[in-house]
Structure 1
Amino acid sequence: MEQQEDRFTDPAYRAAVIDLLGTLAYGELSAFIRLSTDADLAPTLAAKAAVAGLAATEYAHFDRLRARLVEIGADPEQAMAPFVEALDAFHERTKPSSWLEGLVKFYVGDGIASDFYREITAYVDPGTRDLVLGTLEADKRASYVLHEVRQAISEDPIKGSRLALWARRLVGEALSQGQRVAADRDSFSTLLSGTGELPGMGLAGIVSMFSRITEQHTKRMAEMGLSA
């Protein structure tokens, strides 16, 4: 544990981890707010309850990330602030017009973000890695969304084509957002590309990372019964 905390004496590393936890924390808080709103679009009380449960999980993740930021001496609001504009702009450009679009957005957006953060955890200390990976557990969330989307498509195949177009738009927006966040923050870029004694994946590795994220998205589309 002592060795793990020693890494935080490196200002560049500490700043990178604060950025990582800050962007993830705001993503979880945004997901909570978005899902709480999307629950109003749910067609049944059971569906409303299910989405409310998803929202509660997102808030619990946010709370854990906020606590860790405080623990390492960072102000959670300041840590999240640099990422508010980019994430809010993404959500503004991708407002769902229906219950199913909201579910697909949650599944696609959450999946891409999770893949991005999982890649980054290879370059952080064990405690930070465990915390981040713990907030990305999505088995129950994925199962619920897959069930609802597959059932809707089986009942009306035309919805599948429309949702596939919607998902393609989402992935383009999400990848652009991820690249923008990675490029705009020096500390985040350092964690990814590496510099000096701080290892990273390098520029070629970053390109490969986004390629892997795109491949994972294609697999998730297939799981939903949508063409990528």
Structure 2
Amino acid sequence: MSTPADPTPTPEPSTESSAESSSAYRAAVTDLLGVLAYGELRGFLQLAKDAELAPDLRHQAALAQLAAHELGNYRRLGERLTDLGVAVEDAMQPFVASFDGFHERTVPADWLEGLVKAYVGEGIAQDFYREISAYVDEDTRALVTDVLADTGQAEFIVTAVRAAIRQEPRVAGRLALWGRRLVGEAITQAQRLGVERDALAGILVGAPGRAGADLAELGRMFARLTDEHTNRMARLGLSA
């Protein structure tokens, strides 16, 4: 009996195309770590400013500790970028204008608005980066997940904001409007980054030899982002 002919083998990608794919993925990971690093650095600076607006030493100390946590995350991301042969300053630079613009447009009027911004505004961005991390390598995903993990920040902010609302119920309306403004600004920023940074967007949509999210999954992803924003506002005692 004759042996069936082997099926025509699938052509292996050329060395050049493999190198291009590897280069594109490296650029995407660099962008992801770079945007996270600058987000953590700006978060540290913003929380340090917010601590000065806190009503008492207890709240000042709590915000200072949150700021220190952000700075620690920035250092970890910088170390990973260094391991990849990229200076953290170079990885962050493409995102400076976008982040600075966001913070310039969303300057909190008082420490309560600063807390809502840290929880709601930053939370939307963090959810988006968590979604992106599902499509990167295991080591990068583990770092992103760990950096974005809640280590008590949310509990402190929720408790402080709810206590302020109980003490002065009328602030709830103002903070709810502030939260809606923040979500609009955060979504606009994310869309801008997706347009301006092809490598970062490429993590989601995929590339030759690397699967990404299809249109249905992208729709579910944005639905999850919206749902989590609504949940955050509810935890604060605010309407979304």
2:88 to 72, 76, 87: 76
1:30-64 Cα deviation digits (max 9, x unpaired): 00011111111011011111100000000000000
1:109 aligns with 2:134: no
**Structure 2 letter corresponding to 1:32:** F
User: CA contact under 8 A between 1:104 and 1:167: conserved in structure 2?
Assistant: yes
Match of 1:3 in 2: none
RMSD: 1.7
State the Cα deviation string for residues 65-114 of structure 1 (Å, max 9, x = none). Answer: 00000001112111100000000000000000011000000000221122
**Greater gyration radius:** 2
User: Could you tell me the TM-score, scaled by structure 2's length?
Assistant: 0.89
Matches within 5 A, 1:1-228: 10-228=22-240
State the TM-score, normalizing by the size of structure 1: 0.94
SS in 2 for 1:73: coil
Secondary structure, in 3 states, of the residue corresponding to 1:157? coil
Aligned with 2:207: secondary structure?
coil
Deviation of 1:208 (Å):
3.3
Distance between the aligned counterparts of 2:100 and 2:81, measured in 1?
A: 21
Q: Deviations over 1:143-201 (max 9, x none)?
A: 00000000011111110111000000000000110111122111111111112112211
Per-residue Cα deviation, 1:186-222 (whole angstroms, up to 9, x for no partner): 1111111112112211345334322221110001100
Letter in 2 for 1:67: E
What code does the residue aligned with 2:155 have?
A: S
Contact map agreement 1:153 1:160 (CA 8 A) in 2 = yes
Amino acid at match of 1:41: L
- State how far apart, in whole Å, the 1-side matches of 2:218 and 2:26 are: 21
Kindly indicate whether the alpha-carbon contact (under 8 Å) linking 1:13 and 1:198 is maintained by their aligned counterparts in 2: no
Alpha-carbon distance, 1:8 to partner: 11
* Shift in alpha-carbon separation, 1:207–1:9, aligned structure 2, 3 A: closer
Q: State the distance in 2 between where 1:197 and 1:34 align.
A: 40
- Greater share of helix: 1
Cα separation, 2, equivalents of 1:125 and 1:151:
42
Q: Is the 8 A contact 2:128 2:225 kept in 1?
A: yes
**Structure 2: how far apart are the matches of 1:102 and 1:174?**
15
**Any gaps of 5 or more consecutive residues in structure 2?**
1-18
Larger CA deviation: 206-215 vs 32-41: 206-215
User: AA paired with 1:121?
Assistant: S
**Paired residues, number:** 223
SS at match of 1:60: helix
Distance 1:8 1:40, change over 3 A: farther
Question: Match of 2:152, SS?
Answer: helix
Structure 1, gaps ≥5 residues long: 1-6
1:202/1:78 Cα in 2 relative to 1: closer, same or farther (>3 Å)? Answer: farther
